[in-house]
Amino acid sequence: MMTPPGKILHAEHAGTHCLRFVGAIRYPLAPSLDRFLQHLFATATPGTFLVDLSETEMIDSTNLGLLIKIARFMSERHAPSVVLFSPREDITEILISMGFGNLFHVVSTDFPDGVKPVPCEQIPVAETDQSRLAKVMLDAHRALMEMNKCNEATFQDVVRYLEKSVQ
């Protein structure tokens, strides 16, 4: 069975920002997410940030690295930890094994009965060139490496390869 193509949705209400990842969240979406986050963080400091992975079929390491960017931004501003809703056991297992529990509040249950996610709009998908894509991928994998020694060992070869691509 083919995994549906991914999209990233956003909503904001009273200072709470929510990103919803739907389908297969792969590296081609990363530059659009990175641009969106840069713009958001340049214009606002969210009071709360939620990431809804309940409709995520898969998420690659590049986009996981971008989630770290959100957590660091919020931490630097002494804001509450980012909440990750991850009811899928396979995705939650990856998050925990990579150390996301140290930076995020990971909620591995589904939304309570009667609670529905807020309506979201898709973030703009921008065309990007290979050098921009490589830079976003490099920064995301460096962020993953900085989380812990296990991630450092896992992603060091990827980072070395991407460093050559960016030069």
Asked if residue 137 is part of any domain, the answer here is: no
pLDDT at position 165: 83
Tokens of 158: 């990827």
**CA–CA separation, 102 and 140 (whole Å):** 17
pLDDT score recorded for residue 43: 92
Domain that holds residue 94: 7-126
Q: What is the CATH number of the domain that holds 101?
A: 3.30.750.24
Residue 105 to residues 85, 100, 165: CA-CA distances in angstroms? 9, 8, 34
Nearest to 136 by CA among 5, 24, 53, 32: 32
Using CA atoms, how far apart are residues 42 and 97, in angstroms rounded to an integer?
A: 31
Taking phi over 0 as left and psi of -120 to 50 as alpha, with beta for the rest, 78 belongs to left
Residue corresponding to tokens 């925990």 = 96
Mapped onto helix, strand or coil, the DSSP state of residue 79 is: coil
- Count: domains in the chain: 1
Residue 64 lies in a domain: yes
The answer to the question of residue 122 being in a domain is: yes
| 34 Cβ contact partners less than 8 Å away, ≥ 6 residues apart | 66, 69, 136, 139
Quote the pTM value. 0.91
143 within a domain of the structure (yes/no): no
Residue 73 lies in a domain: yes
Residue 29 domain-assigned? yes
Residue 10 phi/psi, 5° resolution?
Answer: -135, 145
Domain-embedded: residue 76: yes
pLDDT in tens, 22-69: 999 999 999 999 999 999 999 988 999 999 999 999 999 999 999 999
The low-confidence residues of the chain, meaning pLDDT below 50, are: none
Q: What is the pLDDT of residue 44?
A: 86
The Cα 167–Cα 164 span in angstroms is 5
